[in-house]
C-alpha cells in the first residue's frame, strides 16, 4: 500500500527536483565525492549487485546526477535513500531492512553458529576422558627433558 501511495508523489518530486535542481546548477554543486559517498550505499535498481557509485551504465550516471541535485536541494542521506527505496523497492539497499521475512537473514546464521557451537561443546565433552593415572614424576621429567623433540619426532614418524 505504502509503495503505491508514494509512487506518484515521488515521481512528481523527482521531476520538480530535476527542474529546480538545474536552476541551482549555477551555484556550487555538491562534489563527485559527496555524491559517491551516498551512491556507494545504494544499489543499482537495474544491474544486479552493483553499487550506484561504480555502475558504468548511462542510466546510473543519471541517477548519480539526481543524487547531486537532491543534495543541492539540501536533502539528507536518509531522505535520498528513502526516495530510492520508495521508487524502486528494498533492493536498492545494500542489505535488507530488518522487518518481516527479512529478519531471517539476520537471525538464522547466528542461530546456526550457536547451535553448531553447542553441538561441538557437547561432543567434546563426551570425548573428554580424564588423564590416566601415570606416575607424575615420569611425566614431569618427560616434559622437562625433551618433550618437544619427542613430540615432534613421534609426529613426524606417524604422519
Partner 1 sequence: MIANFGFGALFITLLISIYGVVAAVYGVRKNAHEWIESARTAMLLTFPLLTLSSVSLIYLLVTGQYQVEYVALVSSKSMPIYLKVTALWGGQAGSLLFWAWLMAAFASAVTLRKWDRDRELLPWVIVVSLITLAFFLVMIIFFENPFELLWQSAAGITSSMFRPSGSLPYIPRDGNGLNPLLRHPGMIIHPPMLYLGFVSFVVPFAFAISALITGRTDDRWIRITRRWTLVAWLFLSLGLVLGSRWAYDVLGWGGYWAWDPVEIAAFMPWLSGTAFLHSVMIQEKRGMLKHWNMVLIILTYSLVIFGTFLTRSGVLSSVHAFAQSAIGPLFFVFIGVTFVTSLALLLHRWNELKGEGTMTSMLSREALFLLNNLLFMGILVICFWGVIFPLISELFTGQKVTVGPPFYQRATGPLFAGLLLLMGVAPLAAWRHSTAKTLGKAIWKPFLVSLLVLGVILFSGVRQPAAILGLWLSALVVLVTLYEFWRGANARHRKSGESLPLALWRLAGRNRRRYGGYIIHLGVVLMAIGIIGIEVFQSETQGTIPQGGEMRLGQYRMTYNSLAMWDTNDGRNVARAVVSVYKNDRYVGDLYPRRDYYYESQQPMTIPGVRSTVEDDFYVLLVDWQPISTQGATFKVFHNPLINWLWIGGWVFILGTMVAAWPDREKEPVRERSRTRMTSPKSSRATTV
Please select the residue that binds partner 1; options are 8, 56, 74, 136, rule is CB under 8 A.
56
Burial of 13 from C-beta contacts in 10 A (0-12 / 13-18 / 19+) = middle
Q: Is 7 in the site for partner 1 (CB under 8 A)?
A: no
Q: Which of 19, 35, 14, 22 is nearest to 88 (CA)?
A: 14
Q: Are 13 and 69 in contact (CB under 8 A)?
A: no
The count of chain residues that interact with partner 1, using the rule CB under 8 A, is 57
Q: Is 54 in the site for partner 1 (CB under 8 A)?
A: yes
Indicate the length of the chain as a whole number: 159
Q: Is 104 in the site for partner 1 (CB under 8 A)?
A: yes
Q: Are 53 and 40 in contact (CB under 8 A)?
A: yes
Please select the residue that binds partner 1; options are 14, 29, 30, 36, rule is CB under 8 A.
36
Kindly list the residues in this chain that would bind partner 1 in the complex (CB under 8 A): 31-33, 36, 43, 47-51, 54, 56, 61, 89-96, 100-102, 104-105, 108-109, 112-113, 116-117, 120, 123-124, 127-132, 134, 139, 142-143, 146-152, 154-156, 158-159
Amino acid at each position: 500500500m505504502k509503495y503505491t501511495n508514494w509512487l506518484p508523489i515521488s515521481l512528481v518530486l523527482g521531476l520538480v527536483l530535476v527542474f529546480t535542481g538545474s536552476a541551482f546548477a549555477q551555484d556550487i554543486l555538491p562534489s563527485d565525492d559527496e555524491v559517491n559517498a551516498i551512491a556507494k550505499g545504494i544499489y543499482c535498481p537495474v544491474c544486479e549487485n552493483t553499487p550506484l557509485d561504480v555502475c558504468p551504465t548511462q542510466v546510473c550516471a543519471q541517477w548519480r546526477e539526481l543524487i547531486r541535485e537532491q543534495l543541492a536541494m539540501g536533502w539528507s542521506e536518509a531522505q535520498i535513500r528513502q526516495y530510492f527505496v520508495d521508487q524502486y523497492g528494498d533492493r536498492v539497499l545494500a542489505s535488507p531492512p530488518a522487518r518481516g521475512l527479512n529478519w531471517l537473514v539476520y537471525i538464522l546464521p547466528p542461530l546456526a553458529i550457536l547451535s553448531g557451537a553447542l553441538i561441538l561443546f557437547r561432543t567434546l565433552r563426551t570425548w573428554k576422558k580424564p588423564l590416566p593415572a601415570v606416575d607424575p614424576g615420569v611425566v614431569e621429567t618427560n616434559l622437562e627433558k625433551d618433550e618437544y623433540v619427542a613430540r615432534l619426532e613421534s609426529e613426524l614418524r606417524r604422519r
